[in-house]
Amino acid sequence: MPLPMPDATDRLLAEAAARFGTPAYVYFTDAVEERLALLRATFGRWFALSYAMKCNPNPALLTWLEPRVELIDVSSGGEFQLACAAGWAPARASFTGPAKQDAELEAAIGGGIGELVIENVREAKAASRIAGERGVVQDVLIRLAPARVPKGFGDHMAGRPSPFGIDVETAGEEIPAILGLPHLRVIGLHIYSGTQCLKPEAICENWQIFMDVFRDICTAHDLVPQKLVFGSGLGIPYHAGDAGLDLPAVAAGIGPALDAFRAEPRFADARLILELGRYLVGEAGYFVTRVVSVKSSRGSRIAICDGGMNAHLAASGHFGMVLRRNYVMHRVGGGEGAEKVDISGPLCTSIDKLASGVTLPPLAEGDLIAVHASGAYGPTASPLHFISHPTPREVMATGGQLTDATRIWPHLNT
C-alpha cells in the first residue's frame, strides 16, 4: 500500500501530533485509494467490494469511503446507524452478527436495510415475525460455516464449534426452516470463515471451498442466488519479516475457477461480493504515541509512552494474537544509532506493553513513536476507558492535508 515518502509521512505524523495531541491515529486516505485501485485492477472482473466497517467505523472515514466502495457490512444496530449517518444508503448495507436483538432487527428492517445476513434459525424466525408486523418481505443472505478452513488463517470462524453461521453439516435441516418463513426472501449466501491470511495458496483454497459449498447448497435447495458473499480473509503484514500478500498470485490461482463458476447457468447472474476490512484500511494508518519517560531497569531500556494497551489493544498483543510479536514501528524523524528498548504505555499493569526489545534509535522524553498497520482495529477495539487516561485522537490525511476526525472525544484533553 503506497504511502507518502518517509520524510513526508513523518512530517505529517509530527504535524498531527503537534496540532491534535497524542496518542493519535492518523489515516492516510491516499493509501486507501491506492489499495482500492489495486483491488479493482486485480479482482474487478469478478467482484464488487463490501467494506466490513467493524475494522474501522470512524465516521469521517465512512463518509470518505461511501462514494468509493459499492457496499458496506455492519455488525450491530449501532453500526447501521453510523453508516446511515455517514451517508450510506440503507439499501447498500448488509447486517452480520450472531446475536442480533429484536430492537436491532426492527431498526434495520424498518430502516430499509439491503440484506440481513441470517446466522441461525432463531434469528430468521424473529426477522420474519418483525418483517410481517411491518407488512414487508425482507431480503436475506444465509451465512454458512464450511467444514474446514485451510492452514494459514489467523482466526478460524468455521471448521470448529463456532457461533457464526449455519454449519454445512446441519444445513440440510436448517435451511428449509428458513426458506419456509413467509416474510423472508433468501436472495443468496454468505461465507466468512477465516481472517488475516498472507498465503495466496491458502486464500485460493478457501475460496474454492466457498464455491463448492455455494454449489452444493444451491443445488440441494434449488436456489438461484442474486448475491454470493466471499469473506476475503486477505491479510496485511504487521510484523518484521512478514511479506505482504501477493494479490496477483491470488487472482492467477483462483481466476480459472471463478470463471468456470460464473459460467454455470445457476450462477451466471449472481453478483459476487468480496467483503473485506483490514486489507483496505489497515496499512493506511499509524498510531502515534509520545515518550513521557525513559528508564533503565535491570539491564533493559524502557520507554514509557502516553498511549498503550488502552489506546491500541491489538499492538499490545491482546487482540487475537497467540504468541506476542512486535508490530513494525519507528521513531518519527529517524535518528542515529540503534538500541533495543521496551515500549510501555501509561497503565498501572504489567501487560501494558507495545513492544519488547524492539530496535529503534535511542529514545528520549518527548520523542514520537509511530506504530505501523494501525488503520484497523484501533480505538473501538481497545479498552479506552481503562484507568481513565485521555482517549486517542483520530486524524485523516488526504492529499497532504490533515483534518480532525476524532469520534470518541478525549475526556481529559482540551
Task: Name the residues annotated as catalytic.
Answer: 348
Asked if the bond preceding 225 is cis, omega within 30° of 0, the reply is: no
Distance between CA atoms of residues 291 and 305, nearest Å? 4
Distance between CA atoms of residues 355 and 339, nearest Å? 13
Q: How many CB atoms lie within 10 A of CB 243?
A: 8
Distance between CA atoms of residues 56 and 336, nearest Å? 35
Between vectors from CA 232 to CA 251 and to CA 85, what angle results, nearest 5°? 125
Task: With both helix axes pointing from N to C terminus, report the angle between 247-263 and 200-221 in degrees, rounded to the nearest 10.
Answer: 20
* Residues 6+ positions from 192 with CB-CB distance below 8 Å: 96, 143, 157, 164, 229, 231, 233, 275
Distance between CA atoms of residues 3 and 9, nearest Å? 7
* E-assigned strand segments in 181-263: 184-191, 194-195, 227-231
